[in-house]
Amino acid sequence: MYKKAQNLIVVIIVMVALAAAVIGGFFLVRNMGNKNREVRKSKTEVEKLMEFDLDNNYPGTAREVLKINNRLMKCYYNEELSDEQLKVLAAQNQKLFDEELLKRNPYDTYLPRLKKEIEGYKKSKVTIINIGLQELAEAEMEERGGYKFCNLLVSFFLKEGNGHKKTNHKYYLREDKDGKWKILFWEVTEKTF
């Protein structure tokens, strides 16, 4: 009688241990699957910019326009882009351009020039480390000819080979008839903020 009770206790302990292992294994596999789904859901900056809906979610200020432009610049010069990715990003970038800039840079000529410029950066081993953008409160604002203009300074901090350098640009933006700020042109400047 004592052996039967002892065997029964051992069988119950083994069954409980097996049940715990099966249930624990199920939850472990399920949690791993959830983590893998989360990893797959996190998108790269390139994917985010490619999917960004500028037609329905256009930035509200000139500074916000330049923030998106700067994100695109970092992708151009820091990432390894496929031809398709570059085409989509270039098209996105042109949505930020004023009609005057678009006339001087139609997509068919803009894309090959952009590719060539990126290749030059890659050959020179130049990457963008950081980008500084002037605050909107410090921007030059003016109205003339029925248009509103905003001029903002942007500083690009670059890594070139083993060295670093900084280049400053002044961006000129104009508000279009729909109230959207568009990049009119930019130039290299000595000014900084």
Count CA within 13 A, CB hemisphere, residue 131: 20
From 153, 152, 189, 191, select the one nearest 174 (Cα to Cα). Answer: 152
Q: 1 or 10: which carries more pLDDT confidence?
A: 10
Where are the domains positioned within the chain? 45-189
What is the pLDDT at residue 170?
A: 98
Please calculate the CA angle 99-154-105 and round it to the nearest 5 degrees. Answer: 25
What is the pLDDT at residue 20?
A: 73
What is the pLDDT at residue 148?
A: 97
CATH topology of domain 45-189: Nuclear Transport Factor 2; Chain: A, (3.10.450)
The string of DSSP codes covering the chain is -HHHHHHHHHHHHHHHHHHHHHHHHHHHHHHHHHHHHHHHHPPPHHHHHHH--TTTS--SSHHHHHHHHHHHHHHHHHS---HHHHHHHHHHHHTTB-HHHHHHS-HHHHHHHHHHHHHHHHHTTEEEEEEEE--GGGSEEEEETTEEEEEEEEEEEEEETTEEEEEEEEEEEEE-TTS-EEEEEEEEES---
Tokens of 102: 């678009």
What is the pLDDT at residue 40?
A: 59
Tally Cβ neighbours within 10 Å of residue 46: 22
What pLDDT band is residue 123 in, cutting at 50, 70 and 90? very high
Please calculate the CA angle 176-179-185 and round it to the nearest 5 degrees. Answer: 40
Q: 10 or 191: which carries more pLDDT confidence?
A: 191
**pLDDT > 90: what percent of the chain?**
74
Residues written for the chain = 193
What is the pLDDT at residue 172?
A: 98
Q: What is the pTM of this model?
A: 0.77
Q: What is the average pLDDT across 115-140? A: 94
What is the pLDDT at residue 122?
A: 92
pLDDT digits (tens, 9 = 90+) for 59-112: 999 999 999 999 999 999 999 999 999 999 999 999 999 999 999 999 999 999
Distances 1 to 8, 11, 15, 149, 191 between C-alpha atoms, Å: 11, 15, 21, 97, 96
- The answer to whether the CB of 96 falls within 8 A of the CB of 54 is yes
Asked whether residue 156 carries a pLDDT value surpassing 90, the answer given is yes
